[in-house]
Structure 1
Amino acid sequence: MANILRIQVVVFALVAASFTNIYLPQPVLPILQSEFQISPVQASFSVSFVIMGIVLSNLFFGYLSDRYPVKPIILTGGVFVAAGGLICSSTGSYTVLVACRLLQGLFIPALTTSIAAWLSRSLPAERLSSVMGAYVSATIFGGMGGRMLGGWIHPPLHWRYAFVTASAFILVTVAMAMVVLPASGREEIAAARSSNGRETYSSLLRKKELLLIYACGAGSLLIFSPVFNYLPYRLSGAPFNLTTETITLVYLVYVLGIFLGPLAGKLSSRLGGGVMLIFSSILLGLSLTLLLLPSMTAVILGLLGVCAGFFSLHTVAVVLLNRKLTCSHGKANALYVLFYYTGGWLGLTGAGFAYEHAGWEGVIVFLAIFLVIPLSVGVFERRVESKARD
């Protein structure tokens, strides 16, 4: 039991460190815009190009994690992610910064997708829901930590030091993983390679029940990510006129998701994944409308609801996916992450143009349109679960 606990702690730290790097510049986008003399859409590239890199490389690392030991993959990914962050901290060129953010994105799946696949095939089914919920909580903790690091722990004008700290965090957690994670034996590698041969990416995509879950993940991040990406512009202007440090404190609503991850996983086992997806979609939609009101109280309540709705959607989708799998966990989870971040990238980019043309109201309307995706998947899952009970 003690050894399993140590592994879970290391996995949590490694995933959190990885996600810290993804959203690091988000609270200081207006500062990047001013320092490099760029537009809001160009400033958002410092986040969206990381996501693009994840999208481009994720299937490759999913394939590797089904065939080879996890520790060398983690080590390689950690070195490149840390190196990219250190270059970002010292460059005076925004083009170089964006290129290194892309480099970081290309190697983050070596730390996240490979770990998810390893957990899925290594844990007994009865522990998978709660542990995958904890995995999602680590992604939430990392997302919050990156935003706090970039806009509050280090003063906003010193955003470069945040990249140094995040790189050091990656290197420390990778070193912990090298010490604590068990080496893959010949039997495990052989079993993983055998499993890899049973499903292809194409065959997984032809399964309707999996494709819908992938769409749910994509739609969820598409809605969620732009809210926090363009929040600094909303809160720094009238009627709020908040400082960057104060805006960054608003990201503490993320703490809610750290507890919601495991809880949502347990509730999906008790109430059914379909019910949870429907409830979470409705909550997310109602919360988006609160963000339109010129009231700080409404904004905080709206952000809490957005976090609760999104984190529940994401956790339940991950749990449902891994419940349905009997093999090829690396490939299946890689496809989920591919769809997930493709949705996030489309959301960030599309919402950027919506913001430029119609302001914050345009962003909220753009996002609300896509609520139909997780809501529809929830209705489908509820029907499937009802038939299974009958």
Structure 2
Amino acid sequence: MIQAHSRAWWRATLALCLGSFLVFINLYAPQPLLPELRESYAVSTLGISLVMSVATLTVAASLLVFGPLSDAVGRGAIMRFTLLAGGALSLALAFAPDFETLLALRALQGFFLGGLPAVAIAWMGDEFEKPALLTAVGLYIGANTLGGISGRIVGGSVAEVSSASMSFLVVGSMTLVGLLVFWRLLPAAKAFTPHPFELRTALADLRAHLRNPLLLGAYLLGGLNFLIFINQYSYITFYLADAPYSLGARLLGLIFLTYLGGTLGSALSGRIAGRLSQPRCMMLGIVILMAGTAVTLSASLSWILVGLTINAFGFFLAHSMASSWVGRQALTARGSASALYLVFYYTGASLGGFWLEPFWQLAGWPGVVLASWLMLGVTLGIAFWLQCRERHTHLSENCSRS
């Protein structure tokens, strides 16, 4: 097993962080382009949000394929192949002749982009010692945020000086170059034990995970939190593109620098977990997310950016804890368990527009804030319930020992 901060640990962690970075560059590059694309294709706010929603939905679907498959054939080949396909599809998006083709390519791209997230944490669970795992997961999720930031900045900046098509070409080229580095860095798996793929067994593993209340709570918490967090960014771009802010694509891309708050939250999650239980860390993250959402009600653009930064810190703190919680609670079929967490996670993202759109139509951004608080109240309750279950489990174990 790989020990924390050893040479092998750094090499593997760097490779997986780079892979994560590349995935999220591709997934989120179109987000700052949504107001421009809405006008270009003459579709509604909800319609153009499908550019993001179809990709996150097929990411979720792919996890049900790649997670169980990785338990049978291994993780490394899946990560390499799907990164290659995701980058190639970014290049294809540049030549999409109409909106329907764009959506179809985004759906296919989302499916392949799900390959690495489906198995990366399971790869770490196989190869890393437990202390090494928590720190590596925090850094890996931090790379998610950097990829999301970079994709939006690159997408918005390139589109501002050229076109959306050029944005896709640049992102696709970056991905293929990064893939070469990833390929060289990722060590060969040594602790992985393949299990022949059987559909009946895979379905049984998924059912077992869903019947585990400690896993199901984390799945719901991650999915509902992401439903709010990622779609807030979509609606804030519409809000800031209109008067009195009237921001263009480049500046809309730059607002995603607030994701750096999430990078910090992920990086600090391991230290915070050393002082608080994981469910309490989740609760803390959700409360911070609710507070940041309140700050975005300010009319000042500067304070809106502060609020988004606070949101990112809180969300990724909770997400890091929920992800590692799944790794701890799943004693078998870790690939399936991690994949199922991400199924809920990305399904939540794809459905967020349907929850937030009525509030947006009725009250604009304040309506989105209200809808966010309502849903985050639910996830706060889930985190509290997980805390109670963990405390009950510890008390039962102590009583049985005595």
Q: Aligned AA for 1:254? A: Y
- Return closer, same or farther for 1:353/1:101 CA change in 2, 3 Å cut-off: farther
Residue 180 of structure 2: aligned partner: 175
DSSP-derived class of the 1:326 partner: coil
SS in 1 for 2:316: helix
The alpha carbon displacement at 1:153 in A equals 4.8
Alignment correspondent of 1:152: 157
2:86 corresponds, among 81, 98, 107, to: 81
Instruction: Determine whether 1:355 maps to 2:360.
Output: yes
Partners of 2:138 and 2:267 within 8 A in 1: yes
Please list every run of at least 4 consecutive aligned residues from structure 1 whose deviation after the TM superposition is greater than 4 angstroms.
Answer: 191-194, 196-199
Indicate which of 7, 14, 37 corresponds to 1:9: 14
**Is contact 1:52-1:345 (8 Å) kept?**
yes
2:21 is the counterpart of 1:19: no
TM-score for both structures, normalised by structure 2: 0.90
Q: 2:336 aligns with which of 331, 334, 345?
A: 331
Percent identical across equivalent pairs? 26
Q: 1:190 to 1:237 in 2, by over 3 A?
A: closer
Q: How does 1:116-155 map to 2 (within 5 A)?
A: 116-155=121-160
CA deviation after TM superposition for structure 1 residue 156, in Å: 6.1
CA shift, 1:157, in A, is 5.0
1:289 aligns with 2:294: yes
| Residue identity matched to 1:9 | L
Please, which of 188, 194, 199 is the counterpart of residue 190 of structure 1? Answer: 194
User: Which among 276, 279, 292 is matched to residue 274 of structure 1?
Assistant: 279
1:55 aligns with 2:42: no
Q: 5+ unaligned residues in a row in structure 2: which ranges? A: 1-5
Deviations 1:343-389 (A, max 9, x none): 11111333234323432222222222111232112212322343426
- Matched residue, 2:322: 317
1:216-265 Cα offsets, whole Å, 9 max, x none, are 10111011011111111111223323333223222111112112212113
Equivalent-residue separation in structure 2 for 1:218 and 1:375 (angstroms): 13
Give me the whole-angstrom Cα distance separating, in 2, the residues matched to 1:91 and 1:122: 41
**Which residue in 2 is equivalent to 1:108?**
113
Question: How many positions carry a matched residue from both structures?
Answer: 388
1:261 aligns with 2:266: yes
Q: How far, CA to CA, are the matches of 2:112 and 2:234 in structure 1?
A: 22
Q: Structure 1 stretches of 5 or more lacking a match?
A: none
Paired with 1:197 and 1:181, the residues of 2 have a C-alpha distance of: 29
Q: Helix, strand or coil for the counterpart of 2:385?
A: helix
1:67 aligned counterpart, secondary structure: helix
Query: 119-128 or 256-265, which moves further after superposition?
Result: 256-265
- 1:191 Cα deviation (Å)? 6.6
Name the CA shift for 1:171/1:386 in 2 (closer, same or farther; >3 Å).
Answer: same
Distance 1:133 1:197 in 2: 31
Aligned CA distance change for structure 1 residues 70 and 274 (closer, same or farther; 3 Å): closer
Equivalent pair of 1:74/1:174 in contact (CA under 8 Å): no
1:65–1:190 CA distance, 2 compared to 1 (3 A):
closer
Q: What letter matches 1:304 in structure 2?
A: T
Helix, strand or coil at the partner of 2:194? helix
Is the CA contact (8 Å cut-off) linking 2:118 and 2:338 kept in structure 1? yes
Separation of aligned partners in 1, 2:182 and 2:193: 18
CA distance 1:246–1:95, change in 2 (3 Å): same
Question: With structure 1 as the length reference, what TM-score do the two structures score?
Answer: 0.93
- Aligned-residue CA RMSD in angstroms? 2.2
**Cα 1:192/1:140, change in 2 over 3 Å:** farther
Counterpart contact for 1:54–1:106, Cα < 8 Å:
yes
